[in-house]
Structure 1
Amino acid sequence: MSEILPARSMPLEIIPDDVTLAQFMLDRSHPYRPTRPAGVPWLIEESTGRAVALEEIRERVFGLANALSFKYGIGENDVVSLFSPNHMDYVVAVWAVHRLGGALTLSNPAFMADELQHQLIETKVKLVIAHSLSLEVAHTAAALSGISSDRVVILDDAEKPGTLTVPSLIREGLSQKANFVERRLAPGEGKTKIAFFCFSSGTTGKPKAVVIQHYAPIANILQLALHFRIHEDYAPWDQRRNRPGDVHLACLPFFHVYGLIFSVHYYIFAAMSLVVVPKFTFKGMLEGIVRYKITHLALVPPQIVLLCKSPETKKYDLSSVRVAGFGAAPVSAELTNQLIAVIPQAVTGQGFGMTELATLTLMFPLEARHGIPGSAGRLMPGCVAKVVKSDGTLAKRGEPGEFVIKSPSVALGYFNNPTATAETFVDGWVRSGDEVIVDEEDNFFIVDRLKELIKVRGFQVAPAELEAHLLAHPSVADACVVGLPDEYSGEVPLAFVVRQPKVASANPEDLRAEIKKYVADTKVYYKHLVGGVEFVDEIPKTPSGKLLRRVLKTRAKEILAERAAAVHTKL
């Protein structure tokens, strides 16, 4: 099989390479950009209904940028950490840093101090903007990273002695003359100037910083715009997929590329309103759909499971939902069909993306009411793909192989990690680490992950990180972590542990609880050993000492079957 081309080509000259993401979103018109109807806000605060339009956002961006310039000296190529759940001023902070020529490290607000510290040190952060709920962790991590406490700023308006807030900085910045001159990029500079450091877990060691330049998210926004034809009157108004004035429930985390690029930047570009949800709860999502007459949902598999199986779903009128797209992890055909039954009026389908591709490269077809159940979609405009077998030859239709992709949205690589970059980014192609099959109509089906990553609710968990942590426990002699299939989370971490001889006679249940707590006390929630701890006599390895993870993956499936049988017996 030759390389697979998209059904619709992407004119690369339409992607501006001389602007930052902030300039593209706030200042530039574009042939693909639809006109936003009068009175349609950019952002809506979920808890209050407060609406914010372009001019207010522009003003707040300038005010914050000005204050960051004269109070903290943030400027060209400086890196700012954004450590917060979704918030109305999240994109204000992003675009303010971009106005100054800086870049952002985006961090999960559920991180523990050592996890945040790794990111602060790795990307040489000079200022931390944190939500008040994460402030204690932010201060601890900053101190461990050599960042003084006065360089930690609160994103929201919570008053904390000795710590400034973004709202107060905006007011101060607006009261002063401009302290900076926004630089215009030279032609082509957008392809190299860094916008974000988004961390992606590798199979060895701690998460790696993916370097995303301004050109990459701009390219992906325009790929999506072209795929969805948002600038064309291609169908009657009631049949168009994405329409100016539609309303999107933005409950995906903004620190993740799926939320950052698709949920935030693309939908704003498409002239839609975003209802900003600080933290996802299922009941809150249902209430938000009804209150704001939500038309568009971007979902991950656990949310789909709740929609399909929770008795709460039937208590709410979901008839306003016109489109429900999903991604971040494969969704089975069975679960897709269940979702269609729950919201039969809605267009539904799956997409596929990677942090390293910033972000989406597959999407279900525009002409289809529903994507093919189980399919991750077809190639987006501008993408080229090949399916490579283990022997390096190209797979035929229906044959499995690694999904290898080329896209104008490809990131620059991994920060300060040439070895990992060379393994994933090869001559303009990105190795996904996912095994796929492509049918005769160019639909892609994700079969398995060739990499060892565990994917929990769309988040990547590196087994090696948890194994290294477990080996530091005094009762653990050896360890191997694998993913245990889970209907709600996709996978959950399961640890196989060899006990030290001195604790071999200890109560196994007490030791299991101790080990699980040991991980939970220092790792973000999705890295917790929800799959459990299984004690074994030895960890299978090759003669060279490499873990035979596949052996324990097989054992994990057996354990899952045994647990299901035990539950059935009790019933």
Structure 2
Amino acid sequence: MTEFVSLSGPLPHVPDDVTLVQFILDATHPSRPLRHPDSPWLIEDATGRTVSFEEIRTRVWGLANALSLKWDIREDEVVCIFSPNHVDYPVALWATHRLGAIVTAANPAFGADELAYQLTTAKAVAIIAHPAFLSAALGAAKLVGIPPSRVIPLDASAGPAPSNVAPNVDELIKFGLANKANFQERRLNPGEAKTKLAFLSFSSGTTGKPKAVEIPHFSPIANIIQKAAHYKFNEPYTTWENMRFRPGDVATAVLPMFHIYGLIVNIHFLLFAGQTLVVTPKFEFTKYLDSIVKYRITHLLVVPPMVLLLCKHPAVKKYDLSHVRFVLCGAAPLSAQLVSQLVKVIPNAYIGQGYGMTETATTVALFPLSQKIGTPGSAGQLVPGVRARVVKEDGSLAAAGEQGELVVTGPSMAMRYSNNEQGTKETFVDGWVRTGDEVIIDKNGDLFIVDRLKEIMKVRGFQVAPAELEGHLLTHPDIADTCVVGIPDEYSGEVPLAFVSLQPHAARRVASDSKEADVLKANIAKFVTDHKVYYKRLAGGVVFLDAIPKNPSGKLLRRVLRDQAKKLVAAKSSQQKSKL
């Protein structure tokens, strides 16, 4: 049997009797670097306000007490955080965990319907929402029966909130701190952290609408320790100047905190590493460059669209980025060509990729200490504690250098999809996770993502399920059938393109008027834009077909249409070049 394991050494002890908040705010661990007492935990990018460990710990307790006093939030209930990045985002999630409750983090770009789906699936009982997105939060709350009095504004930045909503987080913290404790936080029983839920994080898995992934407290704790072991925290493997992670380093926190990459790697791992996080609510490239210089940021966690801008945006030449020492790219594969360009832009940094997914909570592979620049095209090497198999089409196990589906296990794996037996059976198999990614692991231990076996697209690092867009498009009165595929895009990685067959009445309109086709395509694209989050828009366009190809059992021949889409992209590229 061919099984791949980490080359970075064994996994240290992972405590299984603490919650994530207890591990981050209360506990010690041999892998944890000693943070300098004057080093802030967070910096608010826009204002420069610093937030210390003591302030965070106090605010967490105050908010937890208020949630208990006001609404009796208790163990195993679910609180939704609906916000862009904010210095009180970690406070909100850790306060929820102090109560033994579960966090489900939602994309603030969601409309009311999309948020309502997540609230219903997660069975949320309250929403902590940024005031700029309060309207959507209230609309979703109404749809699912959560009273406005359980919708909690994160701050007062948008002015006075409607009178029927809850006090904001600042007001609640003051209220909680002014009253006696109304809850008793408990230490988990040995082994309980492996089953007690911390997060219901949403992932599209392999098909269909997003699924609620059950992530217990043990999983992110284990993953933090796995990464710390991979990078030899607290071990004298080199000089201080050459260490990848040093207490006092400063990192960006611009990756969305609702996304598993931002949630576990950016927040929890980097704070465990003794770093200060500069919290930025929204990625705006030139402001991002300003912050890197202003705060002397040493560590960048990025996704491929950000790398593309660093390599190609003309503004970059105006900035001195020589102090940046570490760049990690994740969420989607990064081409070797972009890596070579990035090395020229940030010459003094260790640069490489990582790989993980919500179902593995989160990191499975990272570029190793032995590489200053990660192997071109590689997603890194397995972190300690991970075991991997590469399964070929015939079910046999691939050897080094052979291609197949990546299947992994380890201490950070999620448990299942909540209330989705079929999806769970397809992805979680006897403690192993089927990733749906076709890979090669070479003789050196480098992991290369070859292709995506599953249907999910990765747009700007976000998962987009074709079936969700197809279900929406089929409600359009002019559409008879549809199939959505991803096409390559330099900035977004890939973007959705919709193949559409029209209803007879619409087909007759298009046939009788040459301009009608363009009008209808624009109308169909707008139909998606008006109802879906921005990264699900049909940026790849709409293509009309007489019929959507299917096999005899009626299954969409998606691969056939992917091939057709590639030809269309190639033809369009050829036409553009001929005009030059």
Same fold (TM over 0.5): yes
Counterpart position of 1:488 = 491
Q: How does 1:145-156 map to 2 (within 5 A)?
A: 145-156=144-155
In the superposition, the TM-score normalised over structure 2's length comes to 0.97
Q: Superposition RMSD on alpha carbons, in Å?
A: 1.0
**Counterparts of 2:353 and 2:527 in 1: how far apart (Å)?**
37
Counterpart position of 2:211 = 208
Counterpart position of 2:334 = 331
Q: How does 1:441-452 map to 2 (within 5 A)?
A: 441-452=444-455
Q: CA deviation at 1:69?
A: 0.3
Q: Deviations over 1:470-516 (max 9, x none)?
A: 00000001000000111110100000000111112240111011101
Q: Deviations over 1:366-406 (max 9, x none)?
A: 12111101001110001110111011101122211001111
Q: How does 1:81-100 map to 2 (within 5 A)?
A: 81-100=80-99
Counterpart position of 1:20 = 19
The partner residue of 1:314 within 298, 314, 317 is 317
Q: CA deviation at 1:347?
A: 0.6
Q: CA deviation at 1:26?
A: 0.4
Q: Is the 8 A contact 1:289 1:320 kept in 2?
A: no
**Counterparts of 1:519 and 1:67 in 2: how far apart (Å)?**
40
**Counterparts of 1:81 and 1:377 in 2: how far apart (Å)?**
33
**Counterparts of 1:382 and 1:85 in 2: how far apart (Å)?**
32
Q: Deviations over 1:163-220 (max 9, x none)?
A: 3211111111111111111111111110000000100013433100000000000000
Q: Is the 8 A contact 1:257 1:355 kept in 2?
A: yes
**Counterparts of 1:418 and 1:17 in 2: how far apart (Å)?**
26
Q: CA deviation at 1:121?
A: 0.5
**Counterparts of 2:413 and 2:40 in 1: how far apart (Å)?**
31
| Aligned-pair identity (%) | 58
Q: Is the 8 A contact 2:7 2:445 kept in 1?
A: no
Q: Is the 8 A contact 1:351 1:360 kept in 2?
A: yes
**Counterparts of 2:156 and 2:237 in 1: how far apart (Å)?**
44
Q: Is the 8 A contact 1:203 1:463 kept in 2?
A: no
Structure 2 letter corresponding to 1:115? E
The answer as to 2:437 corresponding to 1:434 is yes
Counterpart position of 1:528 = 537
The partner residue of 1:346 within 327, 349, 355 is 349
- Alignment length (residue pairs): 570
**Counterparts of 1:362 and 1:569 in 2: how far apart (Å)?**
42
The answer as to 2:258 corresponding to 1:278 is no
Q: How does 1:359-438 map to 2 (within 5 A)?
A: 359-438=362-441
Q: CA deviation at 1:570?
A: 2.7
Q: Is the 8 A contact 1:453 1:462 kept in 2?
A: yes
Counterpart position of 1:558 = 567
Structure 2 letter corresponding to 1:524? V
Q: Which consecutive residues of structure 2, in runs of 5 or more, have no partner in the other structure?
A: 511-515
Q: Is the 8 A contact 1:80 1:104 kept in 2?
A: yes
**Counterparts of 1:279 and 1:445 in 2: how far apart (Å)?**
31
Q: CA deviation at 1:45?
A: 0.5
Q: How does 1:512-523 map to 2 (within 5 A)?
A: 512-523=521-532
Q: CA deviation at 1:233?
A: 2.2
Counterpart position of 1:263 = 266
Structure 2 letter corresponding to 1:266? F
Counterpart position of 2:119 = 120
In the superposition, the TM-score normalised over structure 1's length comes to 0.99
Structure 2 letter corresponding to 1:109? P
Q: Is the 8 A contact 1:203 1:464 kept in 2?
A: no
**Counterparts of 1:73 and 1:90 in 2: how far apart (Å)?**
21
**Counterparts of 2:206 and 2:111 in 1: how far apart (Å)?**
20
The answer as to 2:231 corresponding to 1:224 is no
Q: CA deviation at 1:308?
A: 0.5
Counterpart position of 1:462 = 465
Q: Is the 8 A contact 1:403 1:432 kept in 2?
A: yes
**Counterparts of 2:324 and 2:130 in 1: how far apart (Å)?**
31
The answer as to 2:10 corresponding to 1:10 is yes
Name the SS of the counterpart of 1:71 in structure 2: helix
Q: CA deviation at 1:364?
A: 0.6
Q: Is the 8 A contact 1:10 1:223 kept in 2?
A: no
Q: CA deviation at 1:256?
A: 0.6
Q: Is the 8 A contact 2:207 2:455 kept in 1?
A: no
Structure 1 letter corresponding to 2:182? N
The partner residue of 2:198 within 195, 200, 209 is 195
Name the SS of the counterpart of 1:554 in structure 2: helix
Counterpart position of 2:132 = 133
**Counterparts of 2:184 and 2:418 in 1: how far apart (Å)?**
28
